Structure 1
Amino acid sequence: MIQNPGFLLTVLAFVAVIGPLVFVHELGHYLVGRWCGVKAEAFSIGFGPEIAAWVDRRGTRWRIGALPLGGYVRFKGDMNASSQTDPAWLQLPAAERAESFPAKPLWQRAAIVAAGPFINFLFAILILAAFAFAHGESRTPAVAGQVQPGSAAAAAGIQPGDRIVSLNGREVATFDDIRLYAQIRPDEPVKILIERAGRSIEKQGHVSAVQERDGFGNSYRIGRLGIAPGEPVVEPVALWRAPIVAIKQTGQIIRTMVETLGQILGGGRSVKELGGPLKIAEVSGQAATLGIESFVFFMALISINLGFINLLPIPMLDGGHLLFYGVEAVQRRPVSPRVQEWAYRSGLAVLLAMMMLVTFNDLSSFGLWERLSGLIG
């Protein structure tokens, strides 16, 4: 078993992951806002008491907060860090009103908000493109090289040499597609379309649920079909094609996130699987011990996660703002301040509840509650 990182390395690794990604996210808002002529009054990495701060020549206050769990850009016309509109912006002098966020056309406001998640995706794409160029792209055919006895594939009648064409109607191009599809669907039925000796055959199977442990002792419940690939195939990736490969990989990761979230909302997956900042900190430290490449790849995954979460249609998140702008575009007028206030309060309640849930899950994964019950007992 690999030795777990100490507390100091875990904290440093967490800050090294979250700090740059929050900065990149907020920089997206800032740069597009500046391009649209909106004045940024504050650019904050972290919340809470200021550790350091300075004001640039444009009057933007750049600050570092004591709690590195997020950040914000407060534009002129914003009432607070969640970008609620300050009614007082209408009383500003004409010149200042012109550089306020609420004064800008709808498309510019939407572009400023969308720039944060977009640049998180772009950041991840650049990392994944560099990996694709350096290491190539896995193109191992979706052919069963071996079938594990007693596995789900064996029970379904899959034989070595069978080519997997689709799983539940989803086309399969490479062996990685099989793995990605099965691992998030433990205990689920699956219709397997195979090609054998030039004939198409449909098989009915059931994805097995297995408990696996990584080198750090973490346990995971994942789905497995029980087939192994043949000879691995890794194709070199030209520099011009690397971004295309990275965009495809990013799309696969986002689709997996959407499907996993759908399983949780639909009751097919336990909410106990949701992790929060403490879990990210733990995995950050573990990734750091595995080397720079593992750590950078982990940053790419968290960057995609950050972009995806911010696009959820929850008020106070970027997705909530974009939802309001969509309604505004349809009804040709802004959402009423009263509705916005109610939505922001509800959104805050949802976010606080989610933070409590994932923190509880994180502490449970560390075995805190078991140790406490042992002390009490």
Structure 2
Amino acid sequence: MGTIQVVFMTVLVFFVIVTIHEWGHYYFAKRAGILVREFAIGFGPKLFSLKRGETRFTLRLIPAGGFVRMAGEDPELVEAQPGQTVAVRLKDNLVTRIYLDRLDERAGTIRGEVDSIDLEHKLTISLNVEGEVENYSVHPQALVIAKGKDTQIAPIDRHFGSKPIRKRAMAIFAGPMMNFVLAFVLFGVYAQLVGVPVDNPDKLLVSTIEENYPASKVDLKKGDIVESINGIEIGADLPKMIDIIGKSPNKPIEMKINRDGTSHAVTITPRPNEEGVGKVGIGATLPTRPATAVETVTRSAELMKVSTIFIFENLKMLVTGQFKLDDLGGPVRTAEMTSQIAKKGLAQLTSWTAMLSLYLGIFNLLPVPALDGSRLLFLGLEGIRKRPLDPSKESMVHFVGFAMLMLLMLVVTYNDILRLVRGE
């Protein structure tokens, strides 16, 4: 892939796995009747904003995740207070707009001093208009407008906390669930792209050629058949090929290959790695055939299982402290690795994206404050206690957890940048 393609694919990988996660939250929240105020990719300042229906879709500056903001999760809009002068606009005898400022510019409105207001339960507002109190019913989708921003009101039955526990739990779990679905689908696509080994293979094919390695400087192409090395027949014996190359650091070797039925030899000098083992920078694979539908599903399930075990082993090391700071990677290292894998081809990038999606789903289910797993834990406690926990205390726990995660992200990102500057 070219540089522009690599950058595009790297951004696309991040966008897809985060968007599918947040879409899960969004879709099941909407199904439950919850008002979704914002669907955001990224954190921090807004780069792009578009409102569709009741929801504002935003792209934010810091590419470290995303969020779906539902009514009732955070402090709701600042309502007009008794004694405050406001202007309202009516349609079909229902208040559809409540203006809190620039009242002189609001044509076609009724202006008065708020006597009482309830935008969550009764949906009513009473105004003192020239000495007389007028009562108005408020439309359930009315907008409160102030400082150039319009915010839709949220009746109590549109709040996240007003819904049954099962619906709230589904709205939260749906994010990780969609990551699992995406991972399964992408592992299936990967199985289709690479195929499955043929029965009784008798040859090895060059599958990858690394840039800046000796193999990239000779006449080798993907799909070439490796017939022999230094006169030793290779057949389908990958370990034999690796062993011969590994024992020849800084020693020229003759590799005989077959391309389109024609054989020719290339001379390569393996480069020693840190352990002194010779490397030429090629990957080899057995001949494959297209995977059947059943094989695609079983292969995808197998890759899901193996990848899940690998992820949990790494999380175990994280919990037990068996790691160094350099072992952790933030958005910078993830982007760096994604760009490196994108250069290897679509199949490898598809597998990597599936792994990232699976990791995001598993990580978000950990019982860590601010993550989906912690929110599910609080819902479980609510179900056991038969009553909600104190919202202010729960919000504080999530806020502290989020702050700690962002601090860790900053430290890891700073370390990643230093590592890049040092050229490591």
Task: Answer yes or no: same fold by TM over 0.5.
Answer: yes
2:18 maps to 22
Q: In the alignment, which of 59, 62, 68 is matched to residue 54 of structure 2?
A: 59
1:224-270 Cα shifts (integer Å, max 9, x gaps): xxxxxxx9697874314523431332132122111112123223333
1:114 maps to 173
| Pairwise CA distance, 1:295 | 2.0
Q: Is the contact between residue 10 and residue 335 of structure 2 (CA under 8 Å) also seen in structure 1?
A: yes
1:280-314 Cα shifts (integer Å, max 9, x gaps): 11112112222222222221111112112211211
Aligned counterparts, 1:137-216, within 5 A: none
1:12 maps to 8
Query: Residues 86 and 335 (structure 1 numbering): CA distance in 2 closer, same or farther, change over 3 Å?
Result: farther
Q: Which amino acid aligns with 1:77?
A: G
Percentage identity across aligned positions? 28
Greater helix proportion:
1
Mapped partners of 2:289, 2:385: distance in 1: 51
Mapped partners of 2:277, 2:119: distance in 1: 61
Mapped partners of 1:283, 1:274: distance in 2: 13
Q: Which amino acid aligns with 1:69?
A: A
Mapped partners of 1:293, 1:77: distance in 2: 43
| Pairwise CA distance, 1:347 | 0.4
Mind listing any 5+ residue stretches in structure 1 that lack a counterpart? 141-208, 217-230, 371-377
3-state SS, counterpart of residue 366 of structure 1: helix
Q: Which amino acid aligns with 1:25?
A: H
Mapped partners of 2:48, 2:66: distance in 1: 14
| Pairwise CA distance, 1:31 | 1.0
Does residue 70 of structure 1 match 2:65? yes
User: TM-score of the superposition, structure 2-length normalised?
Assistant: 0.57
Q: Is the contact between residue 133 and residue 239 of structure 1 (CA under 8 Å) also seen in structure 2?
A: no
3-state SS, counterpart of residue 60 of structure 2: strand
Does residue 286 of structure 1 match 2:340? yes
Query: Residues 43 and 306 (structure 1 numbering): CA distance in 2 closer, same or farther, change over 3 Å?
Result: same
Q: Is the contact between residue 125 and residue 246 of structure 1 (CA under 8 Å) also seen in structure 2?
A: yes
Q: Is the contact between residue 79 and residue 86 of structure 1 (CA under 8 Å) also seen in structure 2?
A: no
Query: Residues 59 and 91 (structure 1 numbering): CA distance in 2 closer, same or farther, change over 3 Å?
Result: closer
Q: Is the contact between residue 13 and residue 281 of structure 1 (CA under 8 Å) also seen in structure 2?
A: no
User: TM-score of the superposition, structure 1-length normalised?
Assistant: 0.64
Mapped partners of 2:365, 2:275: distance in 1: 32
Greater strand proportion:
2
Q: In the alignment, which of 146, 151, 159 is matched to residue 100 of structure 1?
A: 159
Q: Give the length in aligned residue pairs.
A: 280
Runs ≥4 residues deviating over 6 A: 85-88, 209-216, 231-236
Q: Which amino acid aligns with 1:243?
A: V
3-state SS, counterpart of residue 347 of structure 2: helix
3-state SS, counterpart of residue 130 of structure 1: helix
Mapped partners of 2:278, 2:405: distance in 1: 31
1:177-220 Cα shifts (integer Å, max 9, x gaps): xxxxxxxxxxxxxxxxxxxxxxxxxxxxxxxx97999999xxxx
Q: In the alignment, which of 258, 281, 289 is matched to residue 312 of structure 2?
A: 258
Q: Is the contact between residue 63 and residue 331 of structure 2 (CA under 8 Å) also seen in structure 1?
A: no
3-state SS, counterpart of residue 293 of structure 2: coil
Query: Residues 272 and 60 (structure 1 numbering): CA distance in 2 closer, same or farther, change over 3 Å?
Result: same
Mapped partners of 2:341, 2:51: distance in 1: 36
1:171 maps to none
Q: Which amino acid aligns with 2:11?
A: V
Mapped partners of 1:37, 1:44: distance in 2: 19
Name which one, 1 or 2, has greater alpha-carbon Rg.
2
Q: Which amino acid aligns with 1:92?
A: E
